Amino acid sequence: MTITRKLTAATITALLAGAGIAAAADAPIVSKQHTSTAGTAPLTIPGSGLKKGDRLPTGARLVYRNVTLEGDQTATFNIKAIHGKRLRGLGTKEGQDVGFVVVNRASYAGRTKVQVRAYANPNADGEVEGRIYGLVR
């Protein structure tokens, strides 16, 4: 095999390998935690008594993290209470294609942090985005 053929074969191999990497799904994206400035609840928080559109009780805040997933990807991360407060409930907006489960804890109410695993709706096509909320008081 001549040097020209070896270089051509190496170049083609490198291009094909690069195309395979680009075609693979990107890693899940999880934002840093944010605190909502909303005065009313944008969603119902199950088990807390807070319904969509209700005014947040005095001292209560909503914290959230945005999640982007594709296919069967999952992302595990923490939701933390802020400023000495405690978690009172978790939730997502209706109709979004991202759900979650609590990891390693039967009851998280009253805790300062909880680990959750987010997952994409298996019936959704392509990339999905969602927001996981925590009510803290």
Domain extent listing, the chain:
26-136
pLDDT digits (tens, 9 = 90+) for 18-68: 555 444 568 999 999 999 999 999 999 998 999 999 999 999 999 999 999
Contact of 117 with 75, CB cutoff 8 Å: yes
- 109/129 Cα distance (integer angstroms): 26
State the alpha helices, DSSP H only, in the chain. 3-23
Q: Reply yes or no on whether the pLDDT at 4 is more than 80.
A: no
Q: Which of 137, 84, 81 is nearest to 114 (CA)?
A: 81
pLDDT in tens, 65-98: 999 999 999 999 999 999 999 999 999 999 999 9
